[in-house]
Amino acid sequence: MQYVSTRGYTAAQNFSEILLGGLAPDGGLYLPEVYPQVSHDELNAWRGLSYADLAFEVLKKFITDIPEDDIKALVTKTYTAEVYKNARAGENASEITPLRILEDQSGRKLILQALSNGPTLAFKDMAMQLLGNLFEYTLSKQHEELNILGATSGDTGSAAEYAMRGKKGVRVFMLSPHKKMSAFQTAQMFSLLDDNIFNIAVEGVFDDCQDMVKAVSNDLTYKAKQKIGTVNSINWARVIAQVIYYFRGYLRATTQNTEKVSFTVPSGNFGNICAGHIARMMGLPIAKLVVATNENDVLDEFFRTGIYRVRKSAETWHTSSPSMDISKASNFERFIYDLLDRDAVRVAALFRKVETEGGFDLSGQTGSDGDEFKKIAAFGFQSGKSTHSDRLNTIRQVEQNYGITIDTHTADGIKVALEHIEQNVPMIVLETALAAKFNETIQEALGRDAERPAGFENIEALPQRVKVMTSNVDDMKAFIAQHTGL
């Protein structure tokens, strides 16, 4: 299995060569030369597997340069009931991503796939725990070290830091928008005082943080000298780790391969639902992939109109589902590459236009950049939008009708899912986080605190350490160099 850049960089590389680096040298994102396919016989054979064994079967299709015994050992170490122990009452922690049927009547079946049972109570743990083990394995083989530079709107940061704390040869520099995360998210990140963890709060929005990471990644000389890698969703290993739970959800929700399911995914940076797109391209019987956005509805606008219009920082709203307060979706380029029949020249031109003009237009209208909007339905994509009032109503309705408390992002997903659910096609909503991470909105919706798993009772009272900076890239580079000694 070899990987190529969405923008045409021609030197195909294997998995280990792209694992630590993030962006390709030309600024593009890595994808396999061809998507590996999964047969019906394989799907049948996978139905009875444990999560770790299923992960092994999926990953070995993408990772051909690491011995299979080592891949097996890595997934066995990663996907355990002890790591994913924060399951709700009635959920089996050994399932790792247990399904909960919320509604099953009159041909409508609504299912919640729990992805937030890991150490930071968010779906990011599903990939990040594997990434931490992969990084440590690869660095030990190469006798190297790595300085991870990442950006977070809330959950990626803590998931990365918990996965990398104490890992040999790894430091983490995590950028987050200053005072724009929930109190729980902030405390979860900034209370980590490990020597290899550096939190940087940027005066701006998430897109400013993400732009800073990309600026460093595109400075190839600095990146090489400082041994910079990334854990953001542009990292290919994170995407394939997320592909696994689409297969798991499908196999647990069906009994035979003639059945189809749909997935609704709360989405800001397009990484989570991009994994669903890849699973579908591999042959998983997915009917629809529904993108659920909040008020920052750049992706919803594209899937309704074919126009991708990035918002400026001043137009990016701070909402009660803050992990989706994103107006420039990094992983979107991977889907556009497939939508444009892998025409890397056109992809590069379109994303140059994003940087210079703020977007592109594939609607097919006069003066547009193409007419590929008409092809989107063939990839199964649909979309919808949720607002703060929708969030509150959905949290109340789910509590009343199904007896569980959901977080704000999952509420966005359920609201949009109910608008797109079809008769006799199960709709699986991917959970984003546990409600405790967004207690302010739970109090507003339900008039009480969200329940917290053991060990998180007083997290906001812990000592915190953070460096507040402007969005000046040179200052941030100097800070990294000062703390790496390179």
> Rounded CA gap, 190 and 360, in Å?
37
Query: β-strands 307-309, 359-361: how paired?
Result: antiparallel
Partner residues linked to 4 by β-bridges:
31
> Please, is 395 exposed, middle or buried when counting C-beta atoms within 10 Å of its C-beta (0-12, 13-18, 19+)?
buried
Using an 8 Å Cβ cutoff, are 329 and 268 in contact? Answer: yes
Kindly give the residue spans of alpha helices, DSSP state H, lying in 143-182: 155-164
Kindly give the residue spans of alpha helices, DSSP state H, lying in 254-371: 271-281, 298-305, 332-339, 344-357
**At CA 129, angle to CA 95 and CA 71, rounded to 5?**
80
**Residues taking part in catalysis:** 124
Our CA dihedral for 196, 201, 202, 205, rounded to 10 degrees, sits at: 120
Give 386-432 as a DSSP string. --HHHHHHHHHHHHHHHS----HHHHHHHHHHHHH-BTTB-EEEEP-
The pair phi, psi for residue 461, each rounded to 5°, is -90, -5
DSSP conformational letter for 324: G
> Rounded CA gap, 100 and 91, in Å?
8
> Rounded CA gap, 438 and 417, in Å?
21
> Rounded CA gap, 106 and 83, in Å?
38
Continuous segment of H or E residues that includes residue 220: helix 220-225
